[in-house]
Structures are given as C-alpha cells and as structure tokens.
C-alpha cells in the first residue's frame, strides 16, 4: 500500500491535497511534489521488505502514489540491469564504471517509468483522456500505458520527429498531432487542447507523478550497489525529470534510514545545439533562459526550456556537480564505443554520457577509483536512421 500524504509546491512550498488531478502549483505555476508519511514509513518500510518482490518499479509501491493496486499498470518497467562495464573499464583504464541500462524498459526508454506511474495515477483519479507533448520517447510510453488503461491518448510531437516514434504511437492506437516547431510549441498545443476538450496533460513536471516514476532509478541504483550511491552520476538532460527524481529518491532513502547523507556529484550533459542548463549553470543563473534554434540529433535533449530548470540547477550546485555539452558527432562516437565494448545498441543521448565521462576524466574532475554511473536512457532502435548509410 502507499503512504502518499499530500503534495507540496517545489518552489513556494504551498501544500495541496493529493485527492484530485492537478498540474502545476495554482499559486506560482511551479512543479508539485508528492510527499509521503515518513513518520509511519520509517517503522513500517524496510529494505528487507524488498527481498521477495517483483522486479518492477512497483517493488517500491509504499513510496509511489497509487492508492488502489487495481490501478497499478505494468508492462514490466524498471529494475533494469546496472551493468559493470568491464570492457570499457579495461579500454579506458578506469576501475569502476557502471551503465544503468534503461534501454531494457517497455517502449525502449526510461520514459516508461514516469509514464507508468503518471498514467496509473491519472486513471485512478478519474482522467477520461490523456494528452502529452513529446520529442518522441514520452509519446510512445504514454501511448502504451494509456492503451493498457483503455484511455484515449493524444500525442503532440515536432513534425520532423523520426518516423519510428510516429510508427510506435500509431501501433499503440494514439491520436497523433504533428506540430510545426519544437517540444515547447507542442506543449502549448497540448495544453490548449487539454483545456478545450477536458483531457489531462501529462507534460513533464507539469503534473506531480512522472517524477515519482523516474525517482525509482535512484532507489534502484542504491539497492543494486548494496545501499551505497556512486560517486558520480552522468545524466543526459532534457526536461531533467530523471535528475530531479533521483535526487528526491536520495532524500527519501535518507529519511527512511536506508542511506546516509553522502550524495553523488550529479552531472548534466546536453547537446552543443541545445544547452540551456549548461549555459545557466556556468553563468550562475537560478533559472535557465530559453535556447533559441535548438538543434540536435538527440531528440530527448532537444528541450529549449525546462519547467524544472531551477530544481536541476540547484541539484548541480548542491551536489558539487557540473554541466557540459557535447556535439552530435561526439554522441555518435560515444554510442559506437559503447556498442563495440559492451554489446549495447544505445541512443545518441547515451553516447553523450560516455563522451562527457571521458572529458571529465581527462580533465581530472573524475578520478580513477571513484565509481561512476552512466545512464543509458534509451535504446538505439528508434534512432536506427542515424546509422543508415
């Protein structure tokens, strides 16, 4: 059962009941976060409870928001392998390199985690139709879980989105809207249609529960490393829901008494053609200005403005982390090095994390002996056009 208690605004700290569908904070228009009953959880939820549970995100159901288990949708998402990258370690002369293999998720990316939880909860709270703006992977994931819940799905994607993403949504019975412009333009259209037709908008961090699904990555890396966190986490950042989610999970696990106060240094990787957070991090801004003319082959990183920008920047500073951008060409090289050494067909976003790792190691920012986790956020299959000759 869940110990969901209420919602709180991540910015102005105003509190809300969690008993109905909500998007942003009605007061300041910033993301809402779910809070749980930590008093009870501390005594009623322990690591040993996890021992015989399913290998899915629902193994952490006490700290996930669905009340009635009948609404826990599942396609086997989560509990993905944390691979010790032995051949990469050898060729890069580095001792502790891990890859969290999110390409193993339903619909081939970690978007499945967030949308599994968000669609489940929207269904439980009575949503009649769902809508989402997406650069590709989120649309597929939402379509899959909406199909399971038998809810109509509306997806808004940029008109130049690769054909594989459109095909996936079509096969999953979603209504597809192609929009001139980028994901931010899709966001406006999706929101407008939500208001007009009474659909619930699952845009990232604009509803409270996708981040709950994504936080399970934080619980998992801790569990898989025997309740020790890595020294460095390298994450390809678009909207940043994964970074924000993992950071939330670390705080929650400390409240549960499962881990101590040590945190990984969090690294945000973006594309040189769209790097609003990298720019804001290095100029010391609290919010990130919108990136004009965003362009990159990594669809998941083509996010010119993130609603959770202030949360991500805060995490990078608090964790003594950093932010850097890599070129499209470097991402492809990174993806091919992972393929050749580890047998994984990964997306360019994942390739970016390896390139970032090599650069940070060469600069001495990462030292041999430290443990580093790269995130393979999506498999390469939906990006096969990038390897066509």
Ligand X SMILES: *Cc1c(COP(=O)(O)O)cnc(C)c1O
Which of 208, 236, 264, 276 touches ligand X (CB under 6 A)?
236
Candidates 10, 109, 203, 319: give the one binding ligand X (CB under 6 A). Answer: 109
Backbone angles phi, psi at 7, to 5 degrees: -120, 150
CB of 262 to ligand X, least distance (A): 23
**Segment contacting ligand X by CB under 6 A, of 37-45, 69-77, 120-128, 232-240:** 232-240
Q: How far is the CB of 356 from ligand X (least distance, A)?
A: 13
Q: Which is nearer to ligand X, 41 or 326 (CB)?
A: 326
Question: Binding string to ligand X for residues 50 to 89, with x set by CB under 6 A, is what?
Answer: ----------------------------------------
The residue behind tokens 């992977």 is: 137
Is residue 347 near ligand X by the rule CB under 6 A?
yes
Of 180-209, binders to ligand X (CB under 6 A) are 204
Torsional class of 135: left (φ above 0), alpha (ψ -120 to 50), beta (otherwise): alpha
Rank residues 319 and 347 by Cβ distance to ligand X and give the closer one. 347
Q: How far apart are CA 283 and CA 10, in angstroms?
A: 23
- Among residues 105 and 191, whose Cβ is nearest to ligand X? 105
Say if residues 121 and 169 touch (Cβ distance below 8 Å). Answer: no
Residues 281, 286, 291, 297: what is their CA dihedral angle, to the nearest 10 degrees?
Answer: 50
Residue 241 found at the interface with ligand X (CB under 6 A):
yes
Beta-bridge partner residues of 109: 378
Among 78, 133, 140, 238, binds ligand X (CB under 6 A): 238
> 29-61 b/e with 16+ CB inside 10 Å = b?
ebbbbbbbeeeebeeebeeeeeeeeeebbbbbb
* 102: phi then psi, degrees, rounded to nearest 5: -75, -10
Least distance to ligand X from the beta carbon of 152, Å? 23
Binds ligand X (CB under 6 A): choice among 22, 30, 111, 361: 111
Contacting residues for 385 by C-beta, under 8 A, at least 6 apart: 162, 163, 164
Interface with ligand X (CB under 6 A): 109, 111, 137, 204, 236-242, 300, 347, 349, 377-378
């Amino acid at each position: 059962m869940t110990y969901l208690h209420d919602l709180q605004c991540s910015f102005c700290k105003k509190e809300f009941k969690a008993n109905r569908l909500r998007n942003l904070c009605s007061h300041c228009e910033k993301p809402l976060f779910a809070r749980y009953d930590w008093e009870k959880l501390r005594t009623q939820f322990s690591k040993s409870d996890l021992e015989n549970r399913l290998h899915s995100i629902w193994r952490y159901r006490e700290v996930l928001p669905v009340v009635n288990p009948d609404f826990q949708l599942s396609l086997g998402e989560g509990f993905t392998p944390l691979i010790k990258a032995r051949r990469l370690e050898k060729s890069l002369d580095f001792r502790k390199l891990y890859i969290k293999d999110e390409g193993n998720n339903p619909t081939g990316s970690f978007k499945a985690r967030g949308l599994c939880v968000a669609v489940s909860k929207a269904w439980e709270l009575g949503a009649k139709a769902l809508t989402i703006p997406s650069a590709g992977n989120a649309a597929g994931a939402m379509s899959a879980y909406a199909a399971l819940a038998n809810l109509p799905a509306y997806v808004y994607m940029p008109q130049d989105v690769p054909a594989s993403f459109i095909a996936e949504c079509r096969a999953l019975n979603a209504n597809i809207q192609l929009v001139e412009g980028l994901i931010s333009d899709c966001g406006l259209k999706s929101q407008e249609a939500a208001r007009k037709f009474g659909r619930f908008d699952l845009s990232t961090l604009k509803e409270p529960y996708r981040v709950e699904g994504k936080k399970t990555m934080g619980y998992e890396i801790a569990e898989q490393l025997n309740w020790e966190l890595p020294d460095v986490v390298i994450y390809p950042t678009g909207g940043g829901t994964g970074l924000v989610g993992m950071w939330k999970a670390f705080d929650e696990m400390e409240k549960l008494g499962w881990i101590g106060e040590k945190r990984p240094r969090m690294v945000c990787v973006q594309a040189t053609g769209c790097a609003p957070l990298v720019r804001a991090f290095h100029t010391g801004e609290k919010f990130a200005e919108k990136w004009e003319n965003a362009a990159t082959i990594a669809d998941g990183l083509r996010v010119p403005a993130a609603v959770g920008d202030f949360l991500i920047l805060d995490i990078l500073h608090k964790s003594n982390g950093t932010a850097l951008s890599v070129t499209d060409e470097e991402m492809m090289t990174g993806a091919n090095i992972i393929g050749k050494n580890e047998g994984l067909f990964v997306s360019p976003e994942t390739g970016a994390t390896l390139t970032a790792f090599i650069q940070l190691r060469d600069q001495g920012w990462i030292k041999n002996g430290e443990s580093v986790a790269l995130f393979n956020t999506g498999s390469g299959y939906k990006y096969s056009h990038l390897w066509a000759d």
